[in-house]
């Protein structure tokens, strides 16, 4: 029986003011039905944390399992088999809840160069590595082709970040958490001499192992700031994505004690952690200096959800009502929302679905349709409500 979770409630407009002691509360309800279906009934996965389409016209999807495998299969509801594309469980440290094989990105020229990139936890570090697809089998990678491009020391087992993605500029972006420990005890969030607490941007097409894009905010600086940094002041931007229409970088930054936030990330931006958690002062707890800090475009309190999972701007065709909306969710509660923001008018947020699974990640296929990786071992798909 297909699992479906429908939100078809009355629409209520509720925009709370953004201030030091109030957070936006996403209590709007959609009056249009939406649901999620189990996308591939005959397939199951172990702790799926990412789903990627290689954009090579092959109609395949790749699912990342946290323990260290990448699984490939045909993007068809009736698919009943899959293959292990890459198995690096022997190199991946998944001992902590937030450790493991965390991110996957295919090179924009994957069809010609066969390069893809993985971000994973090793012992006391996270690694960004390049791999090569096998020359004889497009459904198999060559594990021996690994080239480590970047290794980042991780002082704790949590807040490893995880998302990697190529931007519209062809550069590779990497989400890195603040290094973990409650409240950013090492003050990495505001330290531009550290890669932690940042989104990084590198050019993997030149240099060995990469080069710094000349327009990175700290390229060529003499202050000791890390030139790889694109933006900082982030706690754990577990998932981010680019809107293919606007080019905006949307990120979900996981909060500490009180607030989950959605950011539109700009070059050189300081998103406040650990001076602020969302739009509220964190350290100090009041009267913090907000000079030059960029506040979230949306946030919600822990009475609503406790761990944001960033998603994607919907650009598919199956659900016209959602075109242009940023679809994201909460790992703990299973809620899924649609956020609209045009950069001019106040953001509006609508609850679409209250699912009964933990949402680890979202993904999109070649048609722009949205999938959900869940810790029930299944991949779900966002659909319009077609009735019982």
Residue for token digits 């700290």? 218
Instruction: Map residue 170 onto helix, strand or coil.
Output: coil
CATH number of 34-40+154-384: 2.120.10.30
pLDDT for the residue numbered 31: 52
Distance between CA 311 and CA 289 in Å, rounded? 30
Task: Read off the pTM.
Answer: 0.93
* CB-CB contact of 163 with 103 (8 Å): yes
Q: H or E stretch including 281?
A: strand 280-281
Distance between CA 333 and CA 309 in Å, rounded? 11
Q: What share of the chain is helix, strand, coil (3-state, %, to 5)?
A: 0, 40, 60
Distance between CA 57 and CA 79 in Å, rounded? 17
CB burial string 113-151: b at 16+ within 10 A, e below? ebbbbbbbbbeeebbbbbbbbeeeebbbbeeebbeebbe
pLDDT for the residue numbered 127: 99
Give just the sign of the alpha carbon dihedral 113, 153, 242, 12: positive
Distance between CA 375 and CA 358 in Å, rounded? 5
Phi, psi of 302 (to 5 degrees): -75, -5
* CB-CB contact of 195 with 232 (8 Å): no
Q: How would you write the pLDDT of the chain (388 residues) with one tens digit per residue?
A: 333 333 332 222 233 333 334 455 544 555 557 899 999 999 999 999 999 999 999 999 999 999 999 999 999 999 999 999 999 999 999 999 999 999 999 999 999 999 999 999 999 999 999 999 999 999 999 999 999 999 999 999 999 999 999 999 999 999 999 999 999 999 999 999 999 999 999 999 999 999 999 999 999 999 999 999 999 999 999 999 999 999 999 999 999 999 999 999 999 999 999 999 999 999 999 999 999 999 999 999 999 999 999 999 999 999 999 999 999 999 999 999 999 999 999 999 999 999 999 999 999 999 999 999 999 999 999 999 765 5
Sequence-ordered alpha helix ranges (H) in 109-159: 110-113
Distance between CA 356 and CA 140 in Å, rounded? 34
* CB-CB contact of 210 with 149 (8 Å): yes
Q: How many CB atoms lie within 10 A of CB 324?
A: 14
DSSP, res 50 = E
* CB-CB contact of 271 with 263 (8 Å): yes
Q: How far is residue 52 CA from its own chain's centroid?
A: 12
CA angle at residue 384 from 382 to 387, to 5 degrees? 125
pLDDT for the residue numbered 385: 78
Sequence-ordered alpha helix ranges (H) in the chain: 110-113
Pairing of strands 69-74, 83-87: antiparallel
DSSP, res 331 = T
Q: How many CB atoms lie within 10 A of CB 367?
A: 12
Tokens in use for 353? 């679905």
Distance between CA 131 and CA 144 in Å, rounded? 8
């Amino acid at each position: 029986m297909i699992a479906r979770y429908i939100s078809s409630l009355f629409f209520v407009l509720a925009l709370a003011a953004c201030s030091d002691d109030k957070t936006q509360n996403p209590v709007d309800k959609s009056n249009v039905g939406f649901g999620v279906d189990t996308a591939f009934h005959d397939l199951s996965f172990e702790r799926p944390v990412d789903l990627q389409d290689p954009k090579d016209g092959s109609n395949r999807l790749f699912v990342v399992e946290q323990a260290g495998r990448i699984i490939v299969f045909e993007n068809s509801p009736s698919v009943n088999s899959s293959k292990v594309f890459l198995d690096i469980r022997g190199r991946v440290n998944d001992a902590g809840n937030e450790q493991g094989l965390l991110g996957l990105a295919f090179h924009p020229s994957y069809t010609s160069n066969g390069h893809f990139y993985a971000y994973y936890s090793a012992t006391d570090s996270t690694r960004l590595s390049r791999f090569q697809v096998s020359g004889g089998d497009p459904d198999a990678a060559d594990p021996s082709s690994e080239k480590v491009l970047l290794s980042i020391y991780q002082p704790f087992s949590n807040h490893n970040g995880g998302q990697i993605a190529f931007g519209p500029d062809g550069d590779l972006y990497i989400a890195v958490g603040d290094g973990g420990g409650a409240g950013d005890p090492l003050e990495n969030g505001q330290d531009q001499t550290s890669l932690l607490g940042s989104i990084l941007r590198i050019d993997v097409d030149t240099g060995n192992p990469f080069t710094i894009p000349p327009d990175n905010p700290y390229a060529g600086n003499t202050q000791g700031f890390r030139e790889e940094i694109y933006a900082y002041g982030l706690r754990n931007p577990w998932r981010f994505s680019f809107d293919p229409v606007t080019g905006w970088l949307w990120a979900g930054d996981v909060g500490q004690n009180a607030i989950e936030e959605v950011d539109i990330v700009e070059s050189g931006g300081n998103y406040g952690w650990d001076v602020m958690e969302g739009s509220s002062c964190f350290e100090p707890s009041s009267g913090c200096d907000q000079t030059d800090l960029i506040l979230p475009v949306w946030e919600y309190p822990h009475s609503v959800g406790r761990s944001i999972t960033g998603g994607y701007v919907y650009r598919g065709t199956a659900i016209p009502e959602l075109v242009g909306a940023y679809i994201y969710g909460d790992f703990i509660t299973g809620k899924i929302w649609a956020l609209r923001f045009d950069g001019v008018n106040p953001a509006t947020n609508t609850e679409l679905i209250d699912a009964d699974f933990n949402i680890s990640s979202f993904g999109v296929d070649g048609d722009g349709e949205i999938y959900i990786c869940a810790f029930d071992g299944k991949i779900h798909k966002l659909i319009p409500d077609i009735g019982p």
